[in-house]
Amino acid sequence: MATRILIADNDETSLTGLDTLLTDLGYEVTLARTLDEAVAAAAREAPAVAIVALSLAADDPEALARPLLAASRPGSAQGAIPAAPHVPMLIAISGWGESRHRDAALAAGFDVHLVRPVGLDQLTLILSMTGL
């Protein structure tokens, strides 16, 4: 079974590029173009990793992390069978690379903050460190 990765981005070029890259690497990818779509997909799919563009919530990492983490709780999807808690690895992507942007993303609950453009080596290294 392939590892599930949710990609949430309102930049179509970035979204499709990451989709192609990760699909070619053998991951099962779900796409979301809005925060609402991302939250619904997180509840439905239980991804191991969520790669989320901070631009989905006006660069407010907390407004993204909170609902995504809540959607990952057991029983969050309608009719879902309660299961063991599953918290995906949250990876923030942003055009902002100052330490304050990284710190805000990490404080909000993201595990990693990446600056666009995200490189193949950078992403595969992070995914390999998680055992995925």
Task: Give the pLDDT of the chain (132 residues) as one tens digit per residue.
Answer: 679 999 999 999 999 999 999 999 999 999 999 999 999 999 998 899 999 999 998 889 999 999 999 987 655 444 444 444 567 899 999 999 899 999 999 999 999 999 999 988 999 999 988 776
> Residue 1: its pLDDT value, please?
60
> Residue 2: its pLDDT value, please?
79
Query: 78: which residues sit within 8 A by CB, 6+ positions away?
Result: none
> Residue 83: its pLDDT value, please?
47
| Cα separation, 112 vs 52, whole angstroms | 10
CATH of the domain at 51: 3.40.50.2300
* Number of domain units in the chain: 1
| Cα separation, 102 vs 110, whole angstroms | 9
Amino acid, res. 118: V
Output the pTM of the full model: 0.88
What is the domain extent for residue 10? 4-129
